[in-house]
Structure 1
Amino acid sequence: MTIEGLFKNRQSYYYKNLGKYLKYVLNDHFVILLLVLAGATGLAYQNYLESVLVEALLPRVVLTLVILLVIFSGNIRTLVKPADAVFLLPKEKEFNLIMRRNLVYSLTFHSFYTVVIGFLTVPLLIGIEKMEPDNQIIWILTLVFWKVTHGIYLYYSLKQHQLETSRNIRYVIIAISLTGILTSVFISVFIGFFIALAAVSIFFLYVFIYTRSENWNWESLIETEQRRTQQIYSIINMFIETPYSKHKVKRLKFLDFLYNFSVFNQNPEIYFLSRMFIRNYNFSGLYLRLVLIGGIAIYFSNNWIINSVISVLFLYLIGFQLIPLRQVFKKTVYFRLYPNTDTDKINTIQKLLVILLAGSTIVYSLASISSGWVTMTALLAINIMFIYLFVYGYLPRRLNKKEKFS
């Protein structure tokens, strides 16, 4: 089999395997939830655009941060396996063609959502009078050029060269990208466009002409691909158990003060489950991200109906994503031997979810304080009602149903 055929087979297997799990992630309920969330966010964004001031600094800062996040997100899909460092080493010249194709594929995929974000940010640029409607293609191309520049750097970082050289180039890319985006947002979109065009042209020539003879760093290739795959399956693992996700467990000693409260010391189950939640970044990290994103979305919306929809949706997402905590009991041998019933375990999960969702409710209510005390109180009441219905109505049925089919 040729190296080209090998990677075609890997690509086919990769997408077949990924599609098998994504059908459980993108179920009807979750898709409807995302559509409602997108609609609520879009309405809040539209209302914000109507009230934005031309001389306001905050929208420019937020826009810059969003664009930088989009530009420096993502990685190159290589499909490299650990054994390739041995068996494909003699075929490194042929592997160059495979890597160029991987780069083109990754840049095409990343450029797609970059273009989408670019079109979504056009009204904000027009609102702060930094761009005319006829010049939006200039802004879109600027973002794509920065995204391509970052992609070429990722390609370059997978080759063998001095660590200091790679680090210096990375700092240069970050500095130039930040300068270009700030120029586009604060000064002129046209000047930012020419900075982006010059940056991508120079870096393209440097990587594909000046350093094209450098060999691949196989250790970096393998580690990068494993990290990319792990990130994908860590998200999927929140919906369905997969054999590809590895849980990260960290000792977070600074959170030990939480266990001074009696609620965490009532029984071994709640103590163990709460410890597992905090130490397992797949759970605690997801919880913190959803709380933060929901709080920011509510903070920038002054409509109490939109705030209510956003808070309930994020509470549902948090609760739904933490249902797999039930697997902690099933996988821990101590709780198979411990003399307790399934009802006790469900009650333990309910107690932990009440604590976590109550914490989220407090954050969301405080985020809406700028809309007035009446709005904050109404939001708090709606969230408490939802928590009660979700934890004591939906959750037991869901867990009992999963138990029957497991």
Structure 2
Amino acid sequence: MEKLIQKRQLAFNQHCAKYLRYVFNDHFILVLMFLLGFLVVQYTNLVNHFPKGSFLPLGLSILATVVLTFFGKLATYMEAADQVFLLPQETLLQINLKKAAKKSFVLWGSLQVFVTILLAPIFLLSGWALWQFIAYIVFLLILRGLRLHRHLKGFYQGPVLNLEKLIHHEKQRQQGILTFFSLFTTVKGISSTTKPRKYLNPLLGLLTKAKSQNVWLELYARAYLRNGDYFWLSLRLLTISLLLGVIIPNWWGVAMVGLFNYLLLFQLLGLYRVYDYQVMTRLYPVEDDVKLQAFKTLLMKISFGVSLIQLSLMVLDWRFLAILPIMFVLNLVYLPNKLKKFVD
């Protein structure tokens, strides 16, 4: 059983490794270096000029470390056929599940401890004693252990493993990883799910509003709101950019908002190929240029909506007015050039 799991783990890791060169391309590495340098400079300034009596740095540090507790899923590498062929090996499957929980605890727990130690100056400068900080790390590990224990119990139906639920969990975990890679390139083995999300219907009307009916604009708008994680990805990046704008109301904040707008448009490029495997779309009596133009229109509408929300940051600092020219450059210069290479 252990050899079988190791073989599947190696095969999946090799499958994922092929896409790393697309993820860590020149643009993404440049963005990461810029972001890392920015964070280092800001963190150093915060430690050297720590605001006395302010609870915000400590509160954000506690929030970040607690949120990390909910990161990390069990990697069991179960497959659909196991529900039949490995049913007699349930005892070994239970042992494998416990080993997966231990590996998850060690890997993600180590990352959580590492991040918490990086934030140690904030805790200590806020008045915490060393023993309190160590006790907090232990508390976080206990919290992670309780979460894993509860997760494990969810895979059991009485004393028996619920193999259907276990297999579904592993499929979701792997699809989540492959979905991330699909934002950068075409990925084999990925399956997307479509959800109605009726509460987003008002947004659908805004995104598809045009002078003349465009079938591709309709399709892309529906895919953006209902297919995969594109809409929630936009919402997460928008939220992060707004938080950074509130925390850093100066030119650095404007730069960070612009950076996250670039990341948003870059990630949404993968939406262009969402219908590549739909044979029926090739039967439409529509030119390819119409498809490309519809995609550009959708991205411009999303950019316009994001910019309007981000302009609310002008209440804090007039410099955030620079968001408009940044978005114009991204839409009129970056997108056409990137899409030309992307489509070719």
On whether the aligned pair clears a TM of 0.5, the verdict is yes
Aligned letter for 1:22?
Answer: L
In the other structure, the counterpart of 1:235 is 180
Give distance in 1, aligned partners of 2:245 and 2:334: 21
1:27 aligned residue: 25
Which amino acid counterpart does residue 216 of structure 1 have in structure 2? L
Question: 2:321 maps to which residue?
Answer: 377
Distance in 2 (CA, whole Å) between partners of 1:301 and 1:289 is 18
Distance 1:122 1:363, change over 3 A: farther
Structure with higher Rg: it is: 1
Match of 2:245 among 293, 298, 301: 298
Aligned partners of 1:45 and 1:314: how far apart in 2? Answer: 19
Specify the code of the residue in structure 2 equivalent to 1:395: K
CA distance in 1, matches of 2:210, 2:67: 37
Q: If the length of structure 1 is used for normalisation, what is the TM-score?
A: 0.75
1:139 to partner: Cα distance: 4.0
TM-superposed CA distance for 1:314, in Å, is: 1.2
- Following superposition, the deviation at residue 60 of structure 1 comes to 4.5
Secondary structure (helix, strand or coil) at the match of 1:251 reads coil
Offset from partner CA, 1:43-85 (integer Å, 9 cap, x none): 3444455666444344444334323321122211111122223
Distance 2:41 2:312 in 1: 21
Cα gap change, 1:352 to 1:260, in 2 (>3 Å)? closer
Unmatched runs of 5 consecutive residues or more in structure 1: 162-213
Per-residue CA deviation, residues 253-281 of structure 1 (Å, 9 max, x unaligned), is 34433426884453312233222212223
Find the partner of 1:287 among 221, 228, 234: 234
Aligned AA for 2:247? F
Equivalent residue in structure 2 for 1:327, among 270, 273, 281: 273
| Alignment CA distance shift 1:159-1:254 (3 Å) | closer
Structure-1 residue corresponding to 2:282: 336
Change (3 A) 1:135 1:69: closer
Tell me the distance in 1 between the aligned counterparts of 2:220 and 2:283.
16
Alignment partner, residue 3 of structure 2: 5
The amino acid across from 1:386 in the alignment is: L
Task: Name the count of aligned residue pairs.
Answer: 342
Q: How does 1:213-292 map to 2 (within 5 A)?
A: 214-258=159-203, 259=205, 263-264=209-210, 266-268=212-214, 269-292=216-239
Percentage identity across paired residues of the two chains: 25
CA contact (8 A) 2:245 2:313 kept: yes
Q: Which residue of 2 aligns with 1:210?
A: none
Alignment of 1:73-92 (within 5 A): 73-92=71-90
User: In the aligned structure 2, how far is the partner of 1:90 from the partner of 1:138?
Assistant: 44
1:247 and 1:281 in contact (8 A); partners too? yes
- Residue deviations 1:59-117 (CA, integer Å, cap 9, x gap): 44433432332112221111112222333232233334323322222112111321232
* Distance 1:92-1:263 versus aligned 2 partners, 3 A rule: closer
Match of 1:157 in 2: 154
Ranges in structure 2 where 5+ consecutive residues have no aligned partner: none
Q: Which deviates further from its counterpart, 346-355 or 325-334?
A: 325-334
Q: Residues 336, 157 of structure 1: CA spacing in aligned structure 2 closer, same or farther, 3 A cutoff?
A: closer
Query: What is the correspondence of 1:338-357 to structure 2 with a 5 Å cutoff?
Result: 338-357=284-303
SS at match of 1:281: coil
| Aligned-partner Cα distance in 1 for 2:263–2:236 | 11
Match of 2:114 in 1: 116
Q: What residue in structure 2 maps to residue 397 of structure 1?
A: 340
Does the 8 Å contact 2:184/2:267 carry over to 1?
Answer: yes
Quote the RMSD (CA, aligned, Å).
Answer: 2.8
- Contact persistence 1:7–1:79 (CA under 8 A): yes
